[in-house]
């Protein structure tokens, strides 16, 4: 029998400083392969072997962090679910 895998939310907290609007700070042309490279780097750098991760880069106001993590979990574990985005 294989062990049941469980998912736990995690966050990397940081900040950026800019004189641009939020809409103008992030690249619009990020490819899935680039996100996969970041995931691999995080997995190799901060997690032990056998841990898989999924990330979604976006800015979240501090009072909305819990809702954002739930939304990410919903997307990861039910990719057929429609979102309002």
DSSP string computed for 63-82 = GGHHHHHHHHHHHHH-TTS-
Please compute Rg for the chain using Cα positions. Answer: 15
Q: Give 33's pLDDT tier (boundaries 50, 70, 90).
A: very high
19 pLDDT above the threshold of 90: yes
Residue predicted with more confidence, 62 or 41: 41
pLDDT on residue 85: 43
- Mean per-residue pLDDT of the chain: 82
1 pLDDT above the threshold of 70: no
pLDDT on residue 29: 92
Q: Give 52's pLDDT tier (boundaries 50, 70, 90).
A: very high
């Amino acid at each position: 029998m294989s062990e049941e895998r469980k998912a736990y939310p995690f966050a990397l907290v940081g900040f950026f400083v800019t004189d641009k609007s939020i809409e103008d700070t992030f690249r619009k042309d990020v490819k899935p392969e680039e996100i996969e490279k970041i995931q691999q780097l995080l997995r190799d750098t901060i997690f032990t072997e056998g841990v898989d991760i999924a990330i979604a880069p976006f800015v979240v106001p501090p009072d909305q962090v819990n809702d954002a993590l739930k939304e990410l979990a919903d997307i990861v574990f039910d990719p057929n679910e429609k979102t309002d985005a």
